[in-house]
Amino acid sequence: MPKHISRLIWLLLGVLVLALIAPRILTVDSFYRFGHYRANSVIEIAAQEPAYQTATYCLTCHAKRVAQWSANSHKSVTCEVCHGAAEGHPDNGKLPIPKDTVKLCTLCHEAMPGRPHTQPQIVLAQHNPYTASGQQCAACHNPHSPKIAAGLIKVKGNAAIGKQRAEDCAACHGENGISPNNTWPNLAGQNAAYLARILAAYKSGDQEDVAMTPLAKELNEADIQNLAAYYGGSSCKAAAPGKPVGDAALGRALAKNCSGCHGETGITGNQAWPSLAAQKPGYLMNALKAFRSGLRKDPTMAGVSRGLSDADISNLAAYYAVQACPPAIQGRKTP
Ligand code: HEC
Ligand code: HEC
Ligand code: HEC
Ligand code: HEC
Ligand code: HEC
Ligand code: HEC
């Protein structure tokens, strides 16, 4: 055999032997279990604590918040989407509370073509006069319960019959719906749809008050309609402003956060919501403190009132108490 041929055969044999031995020496054990690209990472990954914990984890310590969230429209948006991964919380500190809700909420809610309609969309510039100038979405929407109930109850009651039924109420709410003291609310001129809704809430137990709950339980559907029609149509001209303890000028500045729903001067554009103008300041203060503490349950007002100090509440009450009461609205008749 020519020399160069045998050299070539030896060389090929050498390469073959190397090719058979090299993998045994060079390959890590994990190759045969997981493939070359992951090596031991599976074990490493499996040993890691999950960064995201899901809402079940939050339940143990933030039960109230989880209950509110899971009963409302954002239950498909988990807590950590907005608050960040809960790994290490609470041991390593609080989770961040998103400050810029315009930025956060528009991520999912700003109208754009192709965005699924199950995710309701708004055009920022049109949504309300204040968002465009930077008002936070959380000023009106509770992020854990974002729906703002604008549902309107039709009031078709008979005001004259309501006036008779209202004799039972006169001791506390006054002959004509103008309350005799500072802490009981005026009813005259209040939106009839709101009155019907809130009376139904006292009756069902959704709202509670030592004085009102037993009385409302005695009312039937027709009574509620008639009373709402009567008080809603009564004039509130005679309402005296009561004696506010706060500073109305300071209250005016704070009221900018409320005007989207309660109107600039406390006269709301939505019949299902209460007007605040010329309401008794003591009552306004009690109502705001009740919302803040959760005694009075309304998801919208809970979010709005949470950050108010006692002084803010007095000032807001003083501001609304001295505003002119709602003018008679079309279609309202004084019986
Ligand atoms: C083991 C109990 C515990 C669990 C579980 C827990 N938290 Fe907390 N969380 C706390 C405590 C304690 C604080 C601090 C409260 C304080 O100092 O006001 C806190 C604070 C927060 C804050 C800041 C509140 C503030 O007022 O600054 C947020 C937001 C928060 N948690 C969200 C979550 C979310 C979301 C989850 C679930 C993924 C969760 N937490 C799970 C105990 C817990
Ligand atoms: C859509 C975003 C979003 C989701 C989802 C969300 N949060 Fe929040 N959360 C916020 C924002 C915004 C605030 C600040 C509220 C404000 O300024 O009125 C907040 C405030 C809080 C606070 C502090 C408020 C307080 O009362 O001191 C806690 C605690 C909290 N969230 C827990 C939770 C938990 C628990 C969940 C899940 C069950 C959750 N959040 C889901 C956006 C969200
Ligand atoms: C990760 C995406 C996401 C973020 C962030 C988010 N949302 Fe939503 N939101 C949704 C989805 C999805 C729905 C519809 C849920 C459903 O109807 O099942 C919704 C529903 C709503 C609704 C309609 C409620 C109803 O029942 O009509 C409002 C209002 C709302 N969100 C406001 C907000 C506000 C305010 C913020 C910021 C604090 C926010 N959202 C942040 C995804 C998001
Ligand atoms: C001044 C109060 C106010 C502010 C601030 C506000 N909203 Fe609203 N928003 C409302 C009211 C009131 C409704 C309910 C309208 C209705 O049901 O007719 C609503 C409804 C919505 C809806 C539901 C729309 C639908 O088609 O069902 C979404 C989504 C929403 N808002 C998102 C936002 C986001 C995001 C921001 C912040 C950029 C924001 N809102 C700021 C008052 C406000
Ligand atoms: C014993 C005194 C008393 C009597 C009688 C009474 N109320 Fe009231 N009413 C109150 C008090 C106090 C409140 C405020 C409760 C609160 O702070 O939640 C109230 C609240 C209300 C509200 C809610 C007002 C608002 O702005 O939210 C309505 C509506 C109402 N009463 C209607 C009636 C009607 C109708 C009758 C007669 C059937 C009646 N009340 C009889 C004491 C009384
Ligand atoms: C997003 C809309 C919205 C905003 C913003 C808002 N409110 Fe309200 N407010 C409501 C609704 C809805 C009710 C009725 C709640 C109920 O049915 O118990 C209410 C009720 C009230 C009541 C009780 C009135 C009564 O007759 O019982 C007071 C007081 C009040 N709001 C004050 C304020 C103040 C002060 C602000 C601003 C710091 C504010 N609200 C911002 C929607 C809003």
What domains does the chain contain, in order, with CATH numbers? 3-47 (no CATH), 55-139 (no CATH), 159-321 (1.10.760.10)
Write b or e for each residue in 182-217: b if 16 or more Cβ atoms lie within 10 A of its Cβ, otherwise e: bebbbbbbbbbbbbbbbbbbbbeeebeeeebeeebe
Which residue ranges in the chain fall short of pLDDT 70? 34-40, 128-134, 149-153, 239, 241-242, 327-335
How much is the pLDDT for 304?
Answer: 87
How much is the pLDDT for 287?
Answer: 96
> CB-based burial of residue 53 (10 Å sphere; 0-12 exposed, 13-18 middle, 19+ buried)?
middle
Task: Return all residues near 162 (Cβ < 8 A) that are at least 6 apart.
Answer: 223, 225, 226, 227, 228, 229, 230, 231, 335
Spatial CA neighbour of 93 closest among 102, 84, 101 = 84
Q: How many CB atoms within 10 Å of residue 41?
A: 11
Residues with CB under 6 A from ligand 2: 55, 58, 62, 65-66, 69, 74, 77, 79, 81-83, 97-98, 101, 138, 143-144, 303, 306
**pTM attached to this predicted model:** 0.76
How much is the pLDDT for 334?
Answer: 34
How much is the pLDDT for 129?
Answer: 56
pLDDT tens-place string over residues 15-37: 999 999 998 888 877 777 766 66
How much is the pLDDT for 254?
Answer: 92
How much is the pLDDT for 77?
Answer: 94
For the CA of 299, the nearest ligand:
6
How much is the pLDDT for 118?
Answer: 87
Q: Which residue shows structure tokens 């907005």?
A: 82
Cα separation, 198 vs 153, whole angstroms: 11
Cα(98) to ligand 2 centroid in Å equals 8
How much is the pLDDT for 5?
Answer: 95
Q: Which residue shows structure tokens 């929407």?
A: 141
Q: Which residue shows structure tokens 């009564």?
A: 234
How much is the pLDDT for 331?
Answer: 36
How much is the pLDDT for 124?
Answer: 84
Cα separation, 178 vs 189, whole angstroms: 9
How much is the pLDDT for 330?
Answer: 35
